Amino acid sequence: MDITGKQLELVNGRIKALIEAGSFYGKKLREAGISSVSTPEEFRRLPFSDKKDLREAYPLGLMSVPEERIVRIHSSSGTTGVPVIIPYTAKDVDDWAEMFKRCYETAGITAKDRIQITPGYGLWTAGIGFQYGAEKLGAMAIPMGPGNTEKQLQFMQDMGSTVICSTSSYALLLAEEIQKRGIRDNIKLRKGVIGSERWGPKMRETISNGLGIQLYDIYGLTEIYGPGIGISCDENDGIHYWDDYIYLEIVDPSTGEVLPDGQWGEVVITTLLKEGAPLIRYRTHDLSRIIPGKCRCGRCYPRIDTVTGRTDDMMKIKGVNVFPAQIEEILRDFPEVSSEYQIRISHLDGKDTMRLYVETNGTVDFVDLSKRIASTVKSRIGFTPLVKVVENGVLPRSEKKTARVIDERYD
Ligand code: ZN
């Protein structure tokens, strides 16, 4: 989806602020002699920013307004030790709450709801994002924070919470505890806003049935405000994101080239309005695709697919980038195979080979099925895998997608 004229205008405002502030990106632009962009092509030539740049700016190098305008910082930890600090102006905080309010509204949540918030409060953006959005909406926030399941369940019943905000694993735990205690009849929950983790359709169904609620996927990352920059709708067909606040591209993770709508790649985000720490073409390392066409719900906000992993999951086979999510998508078109699969990549006789194991029941012609899957992979991704069909129940079960890919090339 090309960047619009209106979005370009906003980007130019951010470029100006970054150059004036002289932060890492401002310096990059100055070195490249760029002071504005006027076409989608020019925009696509802007340099990327990455988490490494943000770490190097520690502690306050990202600050792009005079300090008296900063009202808060948040931080994402990361695994390497040096945290990333994101400064927010009052307007940034308000914009974030506005986006979050829109998320709640998209999920059909109203001022009459009582929203129990279980993500953590503190340096990171989770709990407080859910909180400000709920207040902006006019709903009643119940700021529990994480853990203490006993108290969570007590409040859930006594306060008559109608919405639960949590990670998928905590929602699953709550569903199990509620069932164990036989208190389902005392629970008034009707919706769940679930963020921050990958989860499969099976887990989704268990939570949804266990709590008797409708679930929505919320998307976001601390570097770009926090959770709340997008959410799934009742159609449960991808995540609407707010293109009046962010511009989103999908790029090939190895070449950085922008990919056409529909193709899987890395999510790259540009903030259009952020003041405290604007980011241009920030590489999230999240893996998704833009879903072409309009959503059945009628909303005009564009959609990305559920984030199915990190770009680190990418496999390069015979020079072609492949993601587990692409294989899954193809397998979904074959109703005769189960949801389990395994990918093994090896290097034989100087060539990369992908073996794809799928399961089906005994009534299906294995040879014919394997040929049909192989030719679909060839036509959609560009190489032919060796497809091995096995009986249902033979493959190991795992909730984690990455465990399904075994790369034997570097053993
Ligand atoms: Zn929709």
Residue-level pLDDT at 109: 98
Ligand 1 centroid distance, CA of 236 (Å): 7
Residue-level pLDDT at 97: 98
Residue-level pLDDT at 311: 86
Residue-level pLDDT at 214: 97
Ligand 1 centroid distance, CA of 260 (Å): 21
Ligand 1 centroid distance, CA of 213 (Å): 18
Ligand 1 centroid distance, CA of 254 (Å): 31
Ligand 1 centroid distance, CA of 303 (Å): 8
Mean pLDDT, 10 residues at a time, the chain of 411 residues: 97 97 94 96 97 94 97 83 93 98 98 97 92 98 96 98 94 94 97 83 87 96 96 97 98 95 95 98 95 97 90 84 86 88 87 92 92 95 94 78 73 53
| 8 A C-beta contact, residue 101 and residue 227 | no
Ligand 1 centroid distance, CA of 243 (Å): 14
DSSP of 270-289, one letter per residue?
Answer: EESS--SS--SSEEEEEEE-
Ligand 1 centroid distance, CA of 170 (Å): 26
Q: Is 350 left (phi over 0), alpha (psi -120 to 50) or beta?
A: left
Tens digits of per-residue pLDDT, 33-54?
Answer: 999 999 999 999 999 999 999 9
| 8 A C-beta contact, residue 152 and residue 174 | yes
Ligand 1 centroid distance, CA of 169 (Å): 25
Helix (H) or strand (E) holding 127: helix 126-137
Ligand 1 centroid distance, CA of 107 (Å): 10
Ligand 1 centroid distance, CA of 89 (Å): 31
Residue-level pLDDT at 203: 81
Tens digits of per-residue pLDDT, 321-339?
Answer: 888 888 888 998 999 998 8
The closest of 174, 226, 219 to 198, measured between CA atoms, is 219
Q: What's the CA gap between 386 and 20, in Å, rounded?
A: 55
Residue-level pLDDT at 350: 81
Going by the DSSP 8-state scheme, the letter that residue 238 receives in this structure is S
Ligand 1 centroid distance, CA of 294 (Å): 8
Ligand 1 centroid distance, CA of 261 (Å): 17
Ligand 1 centroid distance, CA of 146 (Å): 30
Residue-level pLDDT at 241: 98
Ligand 1 centroid distance, CA of 298 (Å): 6
Ligand 1 centroid distance, CA of 116 (Å): 24
Ligand 1 centroid distance, CA of 240 (Å): 6
Ligand 1 centroid distance, CA of 286 (Å): 21
Q: CA torsion 32→37→39→41, rounded to 10°?
A: 20
Residue-level pLDDT at 223: 96
